[in-house]
Structure 1
Amino acid sequence: MTIRSTARTLAAIGAVAALGLAACGSDDGDAAATEGGEIVFWTPHTTPQRLAIQEEVAAAFTAETGIEVDVVGLDAAGANQAIVAGAASGDMPDVVLHRPDQTASWAEQGLLDPDAAQEVFERLGPETFSQHAVDLVTLDGELQAVPSDGWGQFLYYRSDLFDDAGVEPPSSLEDIADAAAALNDAGTTGIVLGTAPGEDYTTQTLETLALMNDCQLFTGSEVSLSSGQCAAALAEYQRIQAESVNGDQDVESTRAAYLAGDAAMTLWSSHFLDELAGLDPNFPVSCDECADDPQHLAKNTGVVGLFTGPDNPTPTTYGLTMNLGITRGADTEAAQLWVEYALSEGYIELLSSATEGRIPVRTGTPEDPDVFVREWRSQPLGADPSAQMPFDEVYSDDVITAVVDGANGFSRWGLGTEHAAVAGSLAAQNALAEDLQSLFGGADPASVAEAMQATAEAAAGGSGE
C-alpha cells in the first residue's frame, strides 16, 4: 500500500479522489504478510462508534501480525462508485465488507478474487458457515466472498395483546393475516407494514411475504411472478394491509406506531431490537406504559423469524448478509490473514459494533460449532455506549433463538444466481413496489402478479437475459 491514513468516512467518489485513497497495486502477498505491509479495508459501518470498534480490532491484528489495516468507512453507494473508479486507476482496497448484490456485480466485473476467498473459507471450515449465507455469494459454483454476518426480517408481535385476545403467535403467512384481523376486532390496529410506493421498505416487505409462499422472481431461466404462489402471496398481503391503518406506511410511520403501542404487529429487521428496548435515544419508546418502564415493549414482544405459506412448507424470510471480499490485485496473503482474523479472534468484537444488526453467520469453529453464537448473545445492545445492556439480559432465549435462526435461514430473490443483476436492479428501483399500489386499492391479486411479471420481464430484457 502507498498511503496510510486514519479511519475516515467517505460519502462519494469525489471524496475518495480528494483523499487519495490508498490502493494495493501489488500482487506480492507473501512480502506483505512476512514483512508487515499495509492493507486497506472498506466497511459500510460508518458511525464514529462503529468505526472506533473496527479500528480497535484492526490495531489488535496489527499488534499480532505487523500488518497495518487502514479502516475506511464507505457506504454502499460510495463503495459502488469508488470501486469502479479504483479498478480503472489501479487504486483498489484489499478487503471490502459488502452485500450480496455487490458481490454479484463486482464478480461480473472481475473485481473479486474467488480463489483467495475460497482458500480462507476452507481454512476456517466450510461447515462453520450458514449454507444460506454461502449460497448468496456463490456464483457459477464459485465462492466469491466469505460471509461475515447478517440480519433477517422478522415479525414482531405484542405477546400481551395476543394473550388477551386469545390468539396464537403466527407461524405462517395466513396466520399473520388471521391474527391481524383478530387483533383489529379486539380494538388494536392489527399490523403496520410497508405499503408506500417507491420505498425500499415496501420492496423488502413484498419480498418477505412473497418468499413465505415460495413466490420466486425466476424459476429456471424464466420470470415467474405470475405464478399461483405469487398470486396467493399477494392475496394474503392484501388481506394483511386491509387490517392496517389507512394511508401509505413507511419505515418511520411503522416504527413510530409500534413504539407508541398503537399496533399489535410489525415487520421489521433485527435493527429494531435496540429501539424496542428503549436503548436508542434517537427513537424513544412512547407507549403509555413505557414512561414507567422503558422496556415494557421488549418484555411484551415476541419475535418470529421464519414462516411458511399455503404453498410452501419450508420456513423462510427475507434478509441480508455482509461479506468479506478480497479484490484482485490485493496484497493477497495479508488480506487473507485479515479476513481470517475478522472471522475468528476479532469476530465477536466486530459484531458488537452493531449487535442487533450483525448476527453471526459463522456460528462457531470446527472444534466448538456454536461458540460465536454463545458469545454474541451477551454483547452490548443500544445506540448509546453509556447506556448499553447485554443482549441476553434484555431479551429471552426464545427471542434470541428466533433472531439467530432467521438470520441463518432466509432466502432472497435472484441472489447467488445468474439473475442477481436483475434482482438487484428491480430492488434498487423499487419497481415492483410501484406495481403493488393497485393491490392496496382492491385489484385482483392475480392481475397485480401479471403486472409485476411484465415489469420483471422488461428488466430482464433490458439486462440482456
Structure 2
Amino acid sequence: MRLPFRAAALEVPMFSVKEDGRRKHPSRHRALAAGGAVLLLLLGAACTLGGGDGSGALTFWTPHVTPDRLDQQEATAERFTEETGIDVDVVAMAASDQNQALVTGAASGDVPDVILLAPDQAAAWTAQGLLDTDTAGAVVAELGRDTFSDNALDMVTTGGALTAVPSDGWGQVLVYRTDMFEAAGLRPPRTIEDIADAAEKLSSDGVAGIVLGTKPGDPFTTQTLEALLLAGGCDLVDDAGEVALEAPECARALDAYARMADASVGGDQDVETTRAAYLSGRSAMLFWGSHIFDELAGLAPDFPPTCGECADDPAFLAANSRVVTGLYPPGAGASGDPDEARQYGLTLNLGVPRGADTAAARKFIEFLLSDGYVDTLAVSPEGRIPVRMGTKENPTAFADAWTSLPTGEDEDARRPLSDFYDEKTIRGIVEGAQSFRRWGYGTEQAAFAGALAAQNTLSREVGPLFDGADPADVARRMADAARDVQADVE
C-alpha cells in the first residue's frame, strides 16, 4: 500500500539532540536544516538539491550539521574526488527537514544522489517509491554481505529487498559506577529487573540509584521506554501484526521502569538533566546513548564531569564506570548467549533516491564504507560505531581501527576511547552494535514503528506510571494509543 507522506513521520535520532546542544557558531557550509533554507529548496533551488541536473557534481545530504563534523565529512568527500574525479556537494540537512525536500525534489526530477538516513526514513521512502533499492543491494553484494551486521541489514530490509546500505550507529547503554557497585556487593546487571533491584539498593539521600528519561512526551523518554520494553521481552506487535503492548511482559517491564523512576532523581528527567546528574556524581547508574563515553572521559568541555573526585581527575568517571550494552529478556538462557541480549540502537544508512546518478552514488557509498570508512566513523566515534566490522580479507579491520579513533570536542585534546576504557568495555561497545534492535524495523511494521516513535506516542502515556498507576493499566493505554497510530499509517 502506498503511504500518504503525512503518515510517514520520521524519527529524529538522539545524536541530533547532542549536536544541537553543542553548537556554538552558525554553520559556514550549506546548512539547509533551518526552515527558511528548506523553503528555498522547495521553491526550486535545483542545483543544490541533486546531481541529476547535469552539473557533474554528486550531492550528499547528511544530518551531521555542526561545523566541525561538516569539515570532517567534506574532507572525506575531497579524498573521494581526488581518487575519482567526481565532485561532491556536502549538504547539511536535519533528518526532520529531509522529508518534504525529497518529495518535492522527486516531483521535479531534482534529487540528491546519496542520503545518510535512519531506518524509518528508508521504510517510509521505499513505501512511496522514492529509493533505489537495486543500488543498495548491489553495493552490499560487492562489499560482502557477511561483512555487515545482520541486524543492521535487517533494519533496512523491506519485502526482502535492501532499501539502503548500513553505515554505523549508536546504542542505548547502561553506565554504572563500579566503585558503588563493589561497595554494595552488587554484580553487573543483566536484566531490567536487576537494574531496578540495584537502583533501589543504591538509592540514598545523597545519590540516586539511577537516572533515566521520565519526561512524558519527550524524545529521550521515547527512546528509554522502547529500550526498556525491548529488554523486558515486550514486543510492539504479535505475529499477526496486531498491537501487543497489553501482554504480561509489557506490564512487567513497565513495573521495572516505575521502580527505576522511583529511585531516580526527582522530577521529569530528560537528556540534559540525566547527563548532568551522572556527571556530577549524583547517580550510581545512567541509562543513556553511547554518545556519553567522551563526556565521562572529560573530553567534552561543554559537558564536563563535575563530581567531587573529578576536580583532581577529569577522567575519574570513565575509570570508575562500566557499561552494559545488551540486556537479557525474561527466560533468556543463563549461559549469557549474546545473541539473546537486546540492545536498542539506531543505525545510519546510505540511501540512493530514484532519479539519482546511480553510478556515481554507488562509487561514493562504496568509498565511504571502504577506503573512507575510518574517516566516516571519525566524525563522532562515540556515536558512530561500525556495523561493518571489516572486509572480506580482514574481517575485523574497521572494528580494530575504531578503537584508536580520537574523540572529543577540543581538537588539540582529542584522544581515543581506548585510552580511558578497558579492552572488555571497548569490545563490548563494538560487539553490541552488531546486535542493535528496534521495534518493527525490517518488517512490514517499520512505517508504523517509525511514526509511533516520531510522534512520541507511547511516552505521552507514561506519566501516570510514575504516579503509582497500575502498570497493566498504563500498558492498555499505550496499546490503545498505538492502535490509533497504526490505523492512521495503514
The one-letter amino acid of 2:312's match is D
Given candidates 291, 294, 300, the residue that maps to 1:280 is 300
**Distance (whole Å) between structure 2 residues aligned to residue 168 and residue 445 of structure 1:** 27
Contact 1:53 1:353 in 2 (8 A): yes
| Superposed displacement of residue 387, structure 1 | 1.4
Contact 1:7 1:55 in 2 (8 A): no
**Distance (whole Å) between structure 2 residues aligned to residue 66 and residue 245 of structure 1:** 55
Given candidates 300, 307, 326, the residue that maps to 2:352 is 326
Given candidates 31, 52, 56, the residue that maps to 1:9 is 31
**Match in the other structure for 1:316:** 342
**Match in the other structure for 1:47:** 66
**Distance (whole Å) between structure 1 residues aligned to residue 424 and residue 208 of structure 2:** 25
Contact 1:167 1:182 in 2 (8 A): no
The answer to whether 1:194 aligns with 2:213 is yes
The answer to whether 1:404 aligns with 2:430 is yes
The one-letter amino acid of 1:214's match is G
**Distance (whole Å) between structure 2 residues aligned to residue 37 and residue 178 of structure 1:** 60
Please list, as runs of the form range in 1=range in 2, the aligned pairs for 1:5-404 lying within 5 A after superposition. Answer: 7-11=29-33, 12=35, 13-17=38-42, 20=46, 21-25=48-52, 37-184=56-203, 188-220=207-239, 221-313=241-333, 314-404=340-430
The one-letter amino acid of 1:388's match is R
CA offsets 1:131-179 (integer angstroms, 9 cap, x no match): 0100000001000000000011000001111111111111111110111
Q: Tell me the number of residue pairs that the alignment of Structure 1 and Structure 2 aligns.
A: 451
Please list, as runs of the form range in 1=range in 2, the aligned pairs for 1:431-450 lying within 5 A after superposition. Answer: 431-450=457-476
Note closer, same or farther for the CA distance 1:345–1:7 as it changes in structure 2 (3 Å cut): farther
**Distance (whole Å) between structure 2 residues aligned to residue 148 and residue 48 of structure 1:** 21
The one-letter amino acid of 2:260's match is I
Q: What is the identity percentage for the equivalent residue pairs of Structure 1 and Structure 2?
A: 52
Contact 1:154 1:406 in 2 (8 A): no
CA offsets 1:348-402 (integer angstroms, 9 cap, x no match): 0111010100000000001110000000110011012121112211221122122
The one-letter amino acid of 2:444's match is E
Secondary structure at 1:406's aligned position in 2? helix
**Match in the other structure for 1:3:** none
Greater shift, 151-160 or 401-410, is seen at: 401-410
Secondary structure at 2:166's aligned position in 1? strand
| Superposed displacement of residue 186, structure 1 | 9.1
Pairwise CA RMSD: 1.6
Contact 1:165 1:186 in 2 (8 A): no
| Superposed displacement of residue 37, structure 1 | 3.6
**Distance (whole Å) between structure 2 residues aligned to residue 287 and residue 164 of structure 1:** 18
**Distance (whole Å) between structure 1 residues aligned to residue 332 and residue 124 of structure 2:** 30
Secondary structure at 1:364's aligned position in 2? coil
CA offsets 1:85-142 (integer angstroms, 9 cap, x no match): 1112211000000100110111111111010110010000000000010000000100
Note closer, same or farther for the CA distance 1:199–1:312 as it changes in structure 2 (3 Å cut): farther
**Distance (whole Å) between structure 1 residues aligned to residue 269 and residue 147 of structure 2:** 39
**Distance (whole Å) between structure 2 residues aligned to residue 93 and residue 263 of structure 1:** 45
**Distance (whole Å) between structure 2 residues aligned to residue 309 and residue 267 of structure 1:** 17
The one-letter amino acid of 1:197's match is P
Contact 1:174 1:309 in 2 (8 A): no
Contact 2:49 2:105 in 1 (8 A): no
The one-letter amino acid of 1:60's match is R
TM-score after normalising by structure 2: 0.89
**Distance (whole Å) between structure 2 residues aligned to residue 364 and residue 270 of structure 1:** 21
| Superposed displacement of residue 24, structure 1 | 3.0
**Distance (whole Å) between structure 1 residues aligned to residue 470 and residue 332 of structure 2:** 22
CA offsets 1:44-69 (integer angstroms, 9 cap, x no match): 11111111111111111111111111
CA offsets 1:13-37 (integer angstroms, 9 cap, x no match): 21434754242337xxxxx9xxx94
Contact 1:156 1:304 in 2 (8 A): yes
**Distance (whole Å) between structure 2 residues aligned to residue 409 and residue 309 of structure 1:** 14
**Match in the other structure for 2:6:** none
Note closer, same or farther for the CA distance 1:359–1:78 as it changes in structure 2 (3 Å cut): same
Greater shift, 7-16 or 108-117, is seen at: 7-16
**Distance (whole Å) between structure 2 residues aligned to residue 212 and residue 311 of structure 1:** 11
Note closer, same or farther for the CA distance 1:116–1:7 as it changes in structure 2 (3 Å cut): farther
**Unaligned regions of 5+ residues in structure 1, if any?**
1-5, 27-31
**Distance (whole Å) between structure 2 residues aligned to residue 463 and residue 277 of structure 1:** 43
Note closer, same or farther for the CA distance 1:144–1:364 as it changes in structure 2 (3 Å cut): same
Contact 1:174 1:310 in 2 (8 A): no
**Distance (whole Å) between structure 1 residues aligned to residue 208 and residue 460 of structure 2:** 25
**Distance (whole Å) between structure 2 residues aligned to residue 45 and residue 418 of structure 1:** 28
**Distance (whole Å) between structure 2 residues aligned to residue 381 and residue 169 of structure 1:** 27
Contact 1:155 1:304 in 2 (8 A): yes
**Distance (whole Å) between structure 1 residues aligned to residue 262 and residue 404 of structure 2:** 39
The one-letter amino acid of 1:263's match is S
TM-score after normalising by structure 1: 0.94
| Superposed displacement of residue 281, structure 1 | 1.1
The one-letter amino acid of 1:441's match is D
**Distance (whole Å) between structure 1 residues aligned to residue 397 and residue 211 of structure 2:** 36
Contact 1:214 1:312 in 2 (8 A): no
**Match in the other structure for 2:17:** none
The one-letter amino acid of 2:327's match is F
